[in-house]
Amino acid sequence: MIVGLDGRRVTETIRQNASIDWTIKESVKSKLKVAVKRLLRRYGYPPDMQLLATETVLKQAELIAREFMG
């Protein structure tokens, strides 16, 4: 997980903004990216590292979603 952020807050943000088919729909992925970026800014995450952190969070969430789907 991203250093300096509470993993529960990140997980909650993803759960609140994800839909069943979020891994397929680009519009939902975009919404999630915006939500994660807001969370990073709110907690003072360095701006130059936000893009990489956002991509990492979404990749991890996709991997977890795939595991649940079988």
pLDDT for res 14:
83
- Give residue 3's pLDDT band: very low, low, confident or very high (50, 70, 90): low
Q: For residue range 43-70, what is the model confidence (pLDDT) as tens digits?
A: 898 999 999 999 998 998 888 887 776 6
User: What SS3 state is found at 3?
Assistant: coil
- Give residue 1's pLDDT band: very low, low, confident or very high (50, 70, 90): very low
CA 38 → CA 31, 54, 58, 64, 65, distances in Å? 11, 10, 14, 22, 22
Q: For residue range 17-47, what is the model confidence (pLDDT) as tens digits?
A: 777 888 888 998 999 999 999 999 998 989 9
Phi, psi of 69 (to 5 degrees): -80, -15
